[in-house]
Amino acid sequence: MKGYLQFILIPFLLYVSNSLGQEKYTLSGTISEDSSNETLIGVTLAVPELKTGVTTNEYGFYSITLPEGTYTVLISYLGFKDITQEITLSGTMKIDFKLEEEAEQLNEVVVTENVEKMDIRKPQMSVNTLSVGTIKKIPVILGEADVIKSILLLPGVTNAGEGASGFNVRGGAADQNLILLDEAIIFNSSHLFGFFSVFNPDAIKDVKLYKGGIPARYGGRVSSVLDIFQKEGNSKEFKMNGGIGAVASRLLIEGPIEKDKAAFLVGGRASYAHLFLPLFDVDNKAYFYDLNTKLNYKFNDNNNIFLSGYFGRDVFSISESFVNTYGNAVGNFRWNHLFSDKLFSNLSLIYSDYYYGLKLDFVGFNWNSGIRNFNLKYDFKHYVTDKLQLNYGINNVYYQFNPGKIEPSNDESGIVEDQLIQKYANEFAAYVDVEHKVTNSLSLGYGLRFSQFIRLGQDELYTYANDNPVIFDPFLLIYKEADPTGIVTPGRGGTLATFNNFEPRVSLSYTLNETSSIKASYTRLAQYLHLVSNTSSPTPLDVWTPSGPFIKPQLLDQYAFGFFKNIKGGTYAVESEVFYKQVQNRIDYIDGANLIANNAIEQVILNGEARSYGLELLVRKTEGKLQGWLAYTLSKSEQRTPGRTLNVDSGRSNLETGINYGNWYNTPYDKTHDISLFTSYDLNEKWSFSSNFVYQTGQPTNYPIGQFEFQGLVVPYYGQRNKQRLPAYNRLDIAATLTPRKNKNKKIKGEWVFSIYNLYNRRNSASINFRRNDDTGTNEAVRTSIFGLVPAVTYNFKL
C-alpha cells in the first residue's frame, strides 16, 4: 500500500512543482440549455490553440486553468448550436454559456448521441452512456421506453430472459450492480417482476453504466455502477409532456417557481391493464405506479440546493386472498457550493427504503420486510490545472435490515406475531481520484478508496460449535445446517464484525494517433451486502443480508485492456475490450437451502469464488440519418465453492467435497455469445424507424440425467450444477414513429409510436420442465414461454 500511495503522490507533486511560477488564470462557469436553464452534462469546452479542453460535470459546471492570453473557446454538444467565442484571459473569469437547440424535437431532453461518443484520449474505459433520445427509440415490450431494457443491448450486459428483473454485467450477479437514482441506492429496479423498470424516461437527464475502470468515488458493489440523474426542472417556462400506451401512461410537469432561480418537476406513471380484467371475470390484479419529484433553488452563483424524490409501488393480487406489495422510496437533499473557481463541492443527505409485503388471507397473516439506509456524502472536485483534476470525498451509510415480520391479519387467524432478527450495519468510505494528462498522448486516472464496514450488534445471535454454522456429513457427502449451541444477546450498541479494505483504481489511455488509442485499467472493489436468492434473477421475496461473523465481504479484482478508434471524424467508432474478473467470497448455497423466512441464514451459506473473462466489441454509427450500433460479447462466467479444511474436536483434518465436488460450474447468467444490433433511421420529418435484433446463448440450467423408482414413485436425479442449457434466445423488434407535419403550428405537439416486439413470434424458452405423460407413461419435456409476437401503440405529446 505504501508503494501505491507513492505511485499516486509522486506524479502529482512533480506536476505541481513544474507548474509553479507560471502566470495562469482560471475560466469557469456553468453550461445549460437556453430554453429551460437545465444544466448539461458532458458538454465539451475546447481551446484549439492549446489542444486542451474540459467537459462539464454532473451539475453542468466547468473549470479550466490556462496561461494568460487570448484564445478561441469552442463549446459543442450535438443537438445544440456550437458556440465560438474569443476570450482574453488576463485574470480569473466566470462565464456561463447558454446553448440553443438546433431544431425543435419532441424528445423532452435533447441529450442526443454526442454523450454516447467515445473520447479516445480519456483514460476512462468500460463505460457506456445512453441518451434519453436513444432510449425512447429502442423498441421494447408493450411499447414502454425502458432504461434497463435499453442497456441490455450494450456489450457485456445481459439478463435472465424475458420477464426477468435486474441485469448482469460481465458475468456478474444482479445484486453486484450498484444502481443510483440522484445518488440514492435503488435495491429493486423493476416493476411487474421485470416487465418494466422503475425509471421514468421523461424524468431522466443522464444514464451512465460503468462496467470496469470504476472511479474511486463509487463502491459497495463488485460488478457495475448504473448512475442515473433526474432532470432539474425548467426554470424559464411551464412545460408538460407525457404518453398514453397500451398498458401504462405517464405525465411530467415542470416549470419555474421563481424565474431563472427556482424550478419544480413532478412526473408520474401508472399501469391500468388490471382495470379491464373484471370484464373477463378475472379477479386478479397486477399494476404499478411511481412518482418522481424535484425542486431546485439557486441562491447565488456559488450556492444551489436540490430536493429530489422517488416513490414507486407494485401490487399483485389473486382474488384478494393473496396480495403482494413492494417498491422503493428515496429522498435526497443536495447542496452545491463553489469554494472558488477551482473547487466545486456537493453535499448530499439521502434516504432510501425498499419495502416488501405479503398479505395472505387464506392462512391469516401479513408479512413485511425491507431494508433502509441513511446516507451522508460530501464530494469535492478540484480543478488544479487544465491537465490535473482531483476528486475526493467521504461517504457514510447506515443500514437497517428487516428480514421479515409476521403479523396476524385478523383476530381469528391463530397466527402468533413474530419478528425475525433485525440486523444493522454502517459503511464508511473515503476516496481520492486523480485525472492526470501527462502528455498529449498519455493520460492517467488513478485513485484509492478506503472502505470500512461495521456489522453492528443485534438483539440475538446464534453461536455454533467451532464457529461453523454449516456442517458436512462425510457419509452422505452433503452439507447440513448446524444446530446452534447457544444464543448471545450483544445488543445494538455492540459490534459483531469489522472489515477494512483499501480499493485502488488505475486506468490509462495512450493515444496512437488522432483517431486511435489503447487503454488499460485495474479495479479493486469490495461489496458488503449480499442478496440471498437462489433464482437466476432477483424477485421481490429475496432478502438482503450484510457481511458479518459468518459471511465475508466479496472482493473483486478486474483487469481490462482495450483498443479504440474513431473513423470519419467520429461518425463511426470501434471499441474493443478484453476483461478478466476474479471475485473472492462469492456466496453459494447448500443443496436444498431454505432461504425464505430463515432466521439463521448463515446455516445455508458457504463462501466460494467466482471468475469471468471475455471479449467485448462495439461498433457505432453516431451521425447521419442512419444510426445505431452492433455489440458482440464472447465471455465465460463461472463459480466454485471448494471443500473447507476444518479442524474437528479429534484434532484430525476433515477435507470436504465442496459444492459441485469443488469444480467450477457455469453461473446462471453465463452467456457464451451475446449479439445485439440496434438501428434507427430518420426517413424524413414525418417518419422514423428503429429495430433491434438480439441473439444469446441459452441460459445454463439442470436437466435430469436419470431416474429411479421409490415406493412406486419415479424420482429424477441430477448431475453437476448448470451442466445443460436452454435453447438459444433470439428475437427481432421493430418500431415506427409518426410525427405529423402539422406539429409545427400546434401548441400541443404529438407523435405516434407503433411497435412490434418479437416480430417473427419466436417462442423463447423461459424454462424447461420434465414430467410423465399420463397417457403414454413416458417422460416428456415441457417448455414455458412468456411472450410471442406483441404489437403496441403509444401516443406521446409535449406542451
pLDDT of 104 reads 44
SS (H, E, C) 732-786: EEEEEEECCHHHHHCCCEEEEEEEEECCCCCCCCCEEEEEECCCCCCEEEEEECC
Those residues of the chain that have pLDDT short of 70 are: 1-22, 103-120, 535-541, 646-654, 743, 777
Query: Taking a C-beta distance cutoff of 8 angstroms, is the pair 707, 714 a contact?
Result: yes
d(CA 214, CA 527): 14
**Three-class SS state of 59:** coil
| Predicted TM-score of the model (pTM) | 0.91
- SS3 for 688? strand
Which is nearest to 680 in space by CA: 629, 642, 751? 629
Contact 497, 547 (CB under 8 A): yes
* 573 neighbors 567 (Cβ within 8 angstroms): yes
> What sign results for the dihedral spanned by CA atoms 591, 597, 602, 603?
negative
Quick check: 454 and 498 in contact, CB under 8 A?
Answer: yes
Beta-carbon-side half-sphere exposure of residue 580 (alpha carbons within 13 Å): 3
Distance CA 714, CA 780 (A): 13
Residues contacting residue 776 through CB under 8 Å, at least 6 positions apart: none
Query: How far, CA to CA in Å, does 491 sit from each of 251, 399, 418, 424, 494?
Result: 48, 16, 19, 11, 6
User: What is the separation, in whole angstroms, between the first and last Cα of the chain?
Assistant: 57
Phi, psi of 277 (to 5 degrees): -65, -35
Q: What is the pLDDT of residue 511?
A: 92
pLDDT at position 318? 84
Please, are residues 499 and 631 in contact by the beta-carbon 8 Å criterion?
A: no
273 phi/psi in degrees, rounded to 5:
-60, -30
Residue 241: predicted pLDDT = 93
- Check residue 652 and give its pLDDT: 42
Q: What are all long-range contacts of 96-100, with beta carbons under 8 Å and residues at least 24 apart? A: 96/29, 96/30, 96/31, 96/32, 97/29, 97/30, 97/31, 97/32, 97/45, 98/31, 98/32, 98/33, 98/34, 99/31, 99/32, 99/33, 99/34, 99/40, 99/43, 99/75, 100/34, 100/35
pLDDT value for 536 = 61
Q: What residue type is 519 in one-letter code?
A: K
